[in-house]
Every structure is written in structure tokens, then in C-alpha cells.
Chains A and B, each alone.
Chain A
Amino acid sequence: MDLIFSTIQDGLFAAIASIGFGSISNAPWKTLKHCGWIAAVGHATRFLLMSLGLHIIFAVFAGAILIGYFSRTVSQRTGILFESIAFVSLLPMIPGMYAYRTMQSFISFIQSSGFAENAASIQMMSYNALMTLAIILMMAIGVMLVPKKRSL
């Protein structure tokens, strides 16, 4: 029950985050109203899968596929550009913390002295950089995986 409540809460906050960050990029309201619920579904799926023990990369991939599916459906029903819905819905899943930690590790590498400290900083930097790239790549692949329905 706690897990269900936490998942719903996660989806709700992801919806608010998606609408807010979408407004920075001047997304129109007709796009934002769909991005909210689509982001909620994707992010809640990611949260649920991670709570059940799945690695973040696979959980993000699954969430992105759902976001891609619903974005494609809405795009084909309303005529709104697919990428504008999908990318704004993906914004709450962007790995900002990993990206920031990459830069922080780089700064600590410059400041550090001694082989052990340097090695630790490089390891942190590599890990965070690769995680950032891998997560964003899996998000993009997941979203693009959903094909356009062709009319016969």
C-alpha cells in the first residue's frame, strides 16, 4: 500500500516538474496539459521498477517507452509534434545529479593531490559521466522506439 501511495505521489510531482520545466522552453499549453500526465506515468513506472530492484538505466528505458507510446498516441490524435510532447515529458527523468557530480568530481580531481585521491576522483567522474550519457541515451532510444502508425 505504501508503495502504491509513493508511486502515485512520485507521478504527481513528476507531472508538476514536467509542466514547470516545459514552461521554461515555452511549450504551449496544449502540449503542457498532455505532458503532465504522460510524465507522471513514465516517472511513476521508473520509480516503481526501481523500488522493485531494477537498475535505474533499465527502469528509465521502460518509463521512456511508455512516454513514447502515449506521446505518439496524443500526437497522432491532436496533430501536435511528437518530439515536443515526448521530450518535455522526459524532462523529470533527466539525470541532473549525475551530470553535476561529473563536474564536481572533475573539480575535485584538479584539487586533489596524491595518486589515490586522483584515482578516486577519476573513477567518480567516469562513473557519473557514463551514467549520465547512458541514461539520456536510453531515454532517447526508449522514446524513439515507438513507431509512427502509418495510415493504409
Chain B
Amino acid sequence: MRTKSQSMNNEHEFLKLFCVTITDYASSMLECGALSSTIEDNVHRISDEYGIKTDVSILPRRVLIAIWTIDQEHSYNNIGRTIKHGINISKVVELSQLASEVEATHMSISDLQEKIRSINSETRMNPNLVLVLTAMANASFCRLFGGDAIAMGIVFVATLCGFLIKQKMLKNKFDGRLTTFASAIIAAIISSCGIAYGWSETPHTALATSVLFLVPGIPFLNAMGDMLRGHHLCTVSRIAEAIITTACLSLGLCLAMLLMNIEW
């Protein structure tokens, strides 16, 4: 027969395991660029399923987790940190669906841990496919800004080269800001051939849109989403990162124009 102290030990083990798991879950969501309110909602959904009260505080690079038993007898705290950074919508979607799965199937903590680990180890989309899709997207962007077919072709090639540089530099663990700067220079220099050789009737549109694939759209939107839901600390952090990225791509474009002796 189990003694009272053995039951208490089991309860503490369960709480500690839950605390570690929910911290992993929250920091995984923060790493891949989920909104702070989404992280909070999903953490509460999972905690309610296990009969535990959780308070989560979201900081730019940390999550602070405090868990309580329903009777408020025991509590544990933990701090999670984000390690890899980079928007990964697939992971956000899967982690969010995992919360729904926990509600529907009442899975054990160890199964939940396993699923989090498996989601975190998934690979991204084929990089060559992403390269071609990005080039097509930027060429379409050129069209949206009034570029002609030749300008679209120039932007397609410039984006291929610029994005390839970005992929290679990120793979070799170069700093994200330096990567953006370098990609912008390469894309802008290649797209300036429209002006240099007179190949298009809208060469300036080609030049201006050639670097737009580097604009941090999702971070800007995430920042506004956080602001509308009252997470102002994360708003400021996300806006700052987005502004820095935009500054790097602008500097790259300006340097390219200087090197190619182009006046705007």
C-alpha cells in the first residue's frame, strides 16, 4: 500500500515534470514567432486539461512559468529560454494543434514531451523550392508596383541570387543582420542592370522591389498583434528587431546604388 509520503513524492514528480514540459512548450512557441497571446492561451488550455493553474510571463527571449496545484498547496517556477530564432509558421500551427490534441485525448505528460520534441526536430521546406517560390513572389511584387515583364525577369534573377546568399550565410551561422545586408547588396547590384543597360521601361521599379523579399513582414505584424493585446514589452522588442532588419536591407540597397553610381 502506498504511504502518504510516496503519494506526495509522486505528486511533486508530476508537477516538476509538468513544469519542465510546459516551459519547453512555451519557449518552443516563442522561438518560432507565435503571438504572446497565442502562447498564453495554449499554455492555459494544456494546464486546464491537467488540472494545474499556470501563470506565464512572456519576455523577448525568456518565458517565466509559475504553476500551482488547484488547492494552492504546491507551486513550482521555471524559466525557459529561446535558443534558435526564426519564424516557423509550421511549428506554430503544429504546437497550437497539439494543445487541441491534449484537450481531446488527455495524453500523458511523457507523450506530450515526446510530441514537442518531435515537432521541434522537424525539418523546414525544401530550400530549393523556397528559393524559387521567393523569386516568383518578388517578381509578382514587382508587377504589383507597376513593373513590366523585363523588370519582373530582372527581379526574379536578382532575388534568386540574393536569397541564395541568404540561405548559404544562415546555414553557415552568419549573423542575421549581416546576412540581410549582404543579400540586399547582391540583389540590388544585379537588379541595377536594368538601369545600367537600359533593359526595361521600369528599371527603377526593378531596383526598388529587388530587396523587398528581405522586409520582415511577419515580425511587424506580430509586433502589432502583441500591441493590440497588451503585450507591450514584446511589441517593442519585435518592432526593434524589424526596424534593425529594415535598416540593414536599406543600407545594402543604398550601398549598391552608391557602387553602381545610381541616383534615386
Residue ranges of A at the interface with B (Cβ–Cβ < 8 Å):
10, 13-14, 16-28, 31, 43, 79-81, 83-84, 87-88, 90-92, 94, 96-97, 99-100, 102-104, 107, 136-137, 139-141, 144
Can you list 15 contacts pairing A with B, beta carbon distance less than 8 Å? A21-B134, A24-B213, A81-B38, A84-B89, A87-B222, A87-B225, A92-B144, A94-B221, A96-B215, A100-B215, A100-B249, A103-B250, A107-B254, A140-B224, A140-B227
Given A20-B138, A83-B225, A87-B221, A100 and B133 touching (CB < 8 A)?
no
Given A79-B100, A100-B208, A25 and B87 touching (CB < 8 A)?
yes
Which of B44-52, B67-75, B90-98 is found at the contact surface with chain A?
Answer: B90-98
Output the least CB separation between B223 and chain A (Å).
8
The answer to whether A100 and B137 have CB atoms under 8 Å apart is no
Bound-state Cα–Cα, A87 to B90, Å: 13
B262 CB within 8 Å of chain A: no
Inside 8 A of B140's CB, which chain A residues have their CB? 13-14, 16-17, 20
B136 CB within 8 Å of chain A: yes
Given A81-B93, A100-B249, A10 and B221 touching (CB < 8 A)?
no
Output the least CB separation between A99 and chain B (Å).
5
Residue ranges of B at the interface with A (Cβ–Cβ < 8 Å):
33-35, 38, 87-93, 96-97, 100, 124-125, 129-130, 133-138, 140-141, 143-145, 208, 211-213, 215, 217-218, 220-222, 224-225, 227-228, 246-247, 249-251, 253-254, 264
Inside 8 A of A96's CB, which chain B residues have their CB? 141, 212, 215, 217
Inside 8 A of B89's CB, which chain A residues have their CB? 22, 25-28, 31, 84, 88
With A16-B140, A92-B141 known, 14 other A-B pairs at CB within 8 A are A20-B135, A20-B137, A22-B89, A23-B133, A25-B33, A84-B89, A84-B92, A87-B222, A102-B246, A104-B264, A136-B220, A136-B224, A139-B224, A144-B225
Interface centre among B89, B140, B215, B251 (most CB of A within 10 A): B89
Inside 8 A of A20's CB, which chain B residues have their CB? 133-138, 140
Inside 8 A of B34's CB, which chain A residues have their CB? 83
Bound-state Cα–Cα, A16 to B215, Å: 17
Output the least CB separation between B152 and chain A (Å).
9
The answer to whether B88 and A25 have CB atoms under 8 Å apart is yes
- Chain A: which residue is nearest B255 at the CB level? A107
Bound-state Cα–Cα, A88 to B213, Å: 13
Inside 8 A of B135's CB, which chain A residues have their CB? 20
The answer to whether A13 and B144 have CB atoms under 8 Å apart is yes
Output the least CB separation between A135 and chain B (Å).
10
Output the least CB separation between A151 and chain B (Å).
14
Bound-state Cα–Cα, A100 to B221, Å: 17
Output the least CB separation between A48 and chain B (Å).
14
- Chain B: which residue is nearest A25 at the CB level? B87
Interface centre among B35, B91, B135, B137 (most CB of A within 10 A): B137
Pick the residue among A16, A18, A19, A136 that contacts B221 (CB under 8 A): A136
Inside 8 A of A79's CB, which chain B residues have their CB? 97, 100
